[in-house]
Amino acid sequence: MIVVTGGAGFIGSNLIHQLNTKGEDDILVVDNLAPAANLSGPKFLNLHGARFADYMDKQEFRAALKAGDFANTAVRAVLHNGACSNTLEDDGRYMMDNNFTYSKELLHFATERRIPFVYASTAAVYGASMEFAPVAKNERPLNVYGYSKLVFDDYVRRLLPRFESNVVGLRYFNVYGPREQHKGRMASVLHHFTKQMKETGTIRMFEGSGGYANGEQRRDFVFVEDLARMNRFFGGLMPESPRDVVKAVVNAGTGEARTFKAVAEALMLVHGPAKVEYIPFPGDLKNRYQHFTEADTTGLREAGYSEAFTTLEEGVRRTFEVEPAK
């Protein structure tokens, strides 16, 4: 069995669909499908057409782990993509339980049984830093979401020498792709721009900020299918997966920052022309916003992942092959 937490979410559901294309369906999906104020639609639709063996609510799953219910279950990999990824969530107690304590529970379950453990970290740990190598001097989160992820990364890094099976933290950069329609404000800029194009014919992007001109803010946009493949690679689920044990916290990004203007241009190649309007930078994002991200991929390549990344233009095209714009 393969355990995928956050399996109904954006990255988790794409991972499950990709596993299915490779003949894998002995999958336990773990998620929380309760309504949430930050969601703009139901997550369960992301699993439409997916094949999996079982589903458990996150709280039910945590209780089962604690009770030892999986002691005799043959688990091939734990792919932990479950988290609260709302960068505007200020409830630190909730965030630390959801992103730190829950992750610790899974880490120890997996490592005590020598099960490959791959988990989602985030580029939010870097905050306003302009350097993106995964070292302490660059790690300055701007919100409790980024902090909760950094605390777990640090916990993992302290324990890495003890582990005898794969433990890999993937610091996701700016992920985009199909099946993110439920994420509301936290969806990628690609999703927001598309909605604007279809509703008004105009793309609205921020005026100059953080030292960048209008629409010139830059992010490392990474296609969700590339991240799904990384999960499979480090989870030991591919013929080319590493034979030796890999223990690392690495960046999961392309290493090439692209502007928001470039995203708009890529979308116009798919949907047709649109106007561009520049709007004032939102006050509630002040001191919480990354104007620039670009992954240092040295650690990722040293860990054995050599696959080329999907270009922004190709990823945008493929996104709407799976998820036609409405």
Neighbouring CB atoms inside 10 A of 265's CB total 16
Q: Which of 102, 119, 145, 172 is catalytic?
A: 145
Residue 259 main-chain phi, psi, to 5 deg: -80, 160
Q: Catalytic annotation on 145? A: yes
Residue 172: its H or E element: strand 167-172
Cα angle: 291, vertex 37, 105; to 5 degrees: 80
Q: Catalytic annotation on 126? A: no
**Do 109 and 28 touch, CB atoms closer than 8 A?**
no
Closest CA to 10 of 254, 178, 248, 205: 178
Q: Which of 43, 149, 183, 247 is catalytic?
A: 183
Helix 102-112 with 144-159: angle, nearest 10 deg: 20
Name the H helices within 119-213: 144-159, 189-200
- Known catalytic residues are 145, 183
